[in-house]
Amino acid sequence: MKRTFFFSLILLISSVVAAQKGNIRGFCYDNSTGEPLIYANVLLDGTKYGAATDVNGYFAISNIPVGTYSLTARYAGYTEQHISVTITSTTTHLNIKLEPQTQMLEAISISAKREQAQTQSNVSVEKISPKEIYSLPSVGGQADLAQYLQILPGVIFSGDQGGQLYIRGGSAIQNKVLLDGMTVYNPFHSIGLFSVFETDLIRSADVYSGGFNAQYGGRISSVMDITTKDGNKKHTSGKIFASTFGMNAFLEGPIVKEKETRPYSLSYILSAKNSYLSYTSKNIYSYIDGELPYDFLDLYGKLTLSAGNGSKVNLFGFNFTDEVKGYKSIADFNWVNRGMGANFILLPGTSSAIIEGVLAYSDYTMNMNSTTDSNMSNIGSFSAGLNTTSFFGKNRLQFGIELTGNTTHTSVQRDTLTDYSTELGAYTLFKGFWGKLLYEPSLRIIYYASLGEPSLEPRLSLKFNVSDKFRLKFASGMYSQTFIDTKSDRDIVNLYTGYLTASPELNVVRMFKGDSVNEYLEKSNHFIFGLEYDILHSLSLNMETYYKTMTSLFSINRDKYYDDDNAHEDKPDYLKKEYVVEDGVAYGGDVSLKYEDGRLYVWAIYSLGWVEKTNEVQTYYPHYDRRHNVNILASYQFGLSRSWEVSVRWNYGSGFPYTPTRGMGESLPLTDGISSDIIYANGNLTTYYGELNSKRLPDYHRLDISLKKRWQISKRSVLELNLGVTNVYNRNNLFYYDRVTGTRVNQLPVMPSMGLSWLF
């Protein structure tokens, strides 16, 4: 009896011990700077357990049987690290620091990307790093995110000067841009070639052209989520750059250095970037018809307090300005975007969960002044968000809440419209694996308090790994927003964008297609299907098709003919109201081929798309409907230590729609009725338009090339010379036609540039 009880007790203890499992969590860092490493692979050798780090360098591996394992951490361009780790029933915390290699191991780099492709849905998203931005020919010698965004699948760029980005049929105001969790309302300067983001500041930039999950809300087209680096925790470093276009400076370093014996560190990062094209264009580019009146100044600063376990708090602020003197020779334009905020990462207790939060405020004001009128638009916005992510083996569950408040002021010819809006959102997201299937269902609930309208927005993303080389993917979702655009779409390029919030207080039509207008949320539904195929070890194919519906789109009424008063009460709304309602549809597809092997990098993208909008009067193509768009990028490194690099980029885009001018005439102010003096009265010049967007502009194409040479001055000091030519064969791409004089104005001609940078 005693012997039976003894053996039963041993079996019970053995089964309990065998059932015990533990967790590993931690961060991967660059040992030379303390900067987190994104998408590093952390694996337990000889097992199926592993994880990739996120944008914060964080990883979590859960439900691991207790025991001793050999852990391998690897990241392209860094020396592998092998660690012996003992798993107990509690959570083991690791901070892994990898040493940069002097020579890139391309096989590891490609293998890591392939493994990431199998474990991330990657539907309609491009994950961009500074290295990829620098592979592009640098306009004016300055590598910039704005230039890289223009080559992405599904992205349409409207021009070198005053250009906007339109993504898969969405207007510019339907794109959401986040900087460290804070909304940036105008991320692109008027010259169209530069963003407000300093390239050396960027840790990662995720660009979602559609089908994004419930973590993001408040826009119906796309999301750009940009994260900046933390300051160097080990030593002071920086960069100074000057070119024929502008200058920038970048400085980072520790205030309190990171040490093994110190449980915390404090670091800073500062950057400044400006353009002086309005000055250099008078001398260096004096052959251009008229100067380039574009100046800007971007300032950014950040403090990072890091704890030894990876928890940290960031304080950041920015001041971005843009000024155009004599835009189109008829107006002065400027804008200012200021903001400040804080975000944090917290690792609670011994669980594998991670908590993140953000609190921020920004203020954006733009002004356009001409000889006839002046326009102003301002938006002040505060936001707060909190989310937590828990890990269960390969699966993860995320919850989050957000609060956003906006105040908009828009003035047009001394009339000012003011509105307030508040949005309260909550979301949940689950990522799981079922055999070869990766599935990510998510749900976002938004309550628009100012409208009293809730919006329930389910979303789903799937990826099926047919084999190690072939993958199918799908995404779908519902989206909403309240912001509407007040700029005219008569012209392809228009710098001014007024922000308004859709509401019953606007002078909006009461009926649309026979139904009452009682909803003031712009909405869209996305449907995306694609495939990924690794054709060769270094050659990959990505294809996606999409279909997007858009409803309750508000726009300025271009067909207004009567005043909205009692005298015209019998006239239909679409002939007298300031704003009308439209529906829209966008569909098409993108094909991209990417080759990466050692010194050579080639990326070719073709996009085919249609955009249609329907109002009470007609169905038409909006001014950013570009049927065909082609981008080819090639970069090759040569010489000792790959110190030479040549890059080439060619872009082709078919013509945008535009509304032709039917004629010009004098409009007499008949204020006194039949008693008005029609002989001696001075009238106003009036433009009579033809059929809306019934013509197409000429095709656009441009070739850019740059040559870089790097000199290693010391271990931490590098000098780089950048020589470039924009629009190499001097293509006369149309900027606009002056409707009054009929004069043709072209975009940028051939423009050579030179830049010199010192990295220390």
What is the predicted pLDDT for the residue at 681? 63
Which parts of the chain have pLDDT scores under 70?
A: 1-19, 102-115, 161-163, 289-290, 327-330, 371-372, 412-415, 488, 490-494, 667-684
Provide the CA 437 distance to its chain's centre, in angstroms: 28
Alpha-carbon distance 93 to 60, whole Å? Answer: 9
Alpha-carbon distance 93 to 413, whole Å? Answer: 61
Q: Is 147 helix (H, G, I), strand (E, B) or coil?
A: helix
What is the predicted pLDDT for the residue at 307? 92
Strand bridging mode 58-65 / 21-30: antiparallel
Check: CB of residue 418 under 8 Å from CB of residue 409: yes
What is the predicted pLDDT for the residue at 673? 59
Catalogue all structural domains in the chain, each as residue range(s) with its CATH number: 20-103 (2.60.40.1120), 125-659+694-759 (2.40.170.20)
What is the predicted pLDDT for the residue at 102? 61
472-475, Cβ contacts within 8 angstroms, sequence gap of 24 or more? 472/529, 472/530, 472/531, 473/121, 473/122, 473/123, 473/528, 473/529, 473/530, 473/531, 473/532, 473/544, 474/123, 474/528, 474/529, 474/530, 475/121, 475/123, 475/124, 475/210, 475/211, 475/526, 475/527, 475/528
Alpha-carbon distance 71 to 38, whole Å? Answer: 18
429-437, Cβ contacts within 8 angstroms, sequence gap of 24 or more? 429/213, 429/214, 429/215, 429/397, 429/398, 430/395, 430/396, 430/397, 430/398, 431/395, 431/396, 431/397, 431/398, 432/394, 432/395, 433/394, 433/395, 436/464, 436/465, 436/466, 437/462, 437/463, 437/464, 437/465
Q: Is 568 helix (H, G, I), strand (E, B) or coil?
A: helix
What is the predicted pLDDT for the residue at 346? 94
Percent of the chain with pLDDT over 70: 90
Question: pLDDT tens across 189-216, in order?
Answer: 888 788 999 999 999 999 999 999 999 9
Check: CB of residue 32 under 8 Å from CB of residue 102: no
What is the predicted pLDDT for the residue at 296? 93
**Please, which residues have CB within 8 angstroms of residue 672's CB and are 6 or more apart in sequence?**
none
- pTM score: 0.91
Question: pLDDT tens across 349-367, in order?
Answer: 777 889 999 999 999 998 8
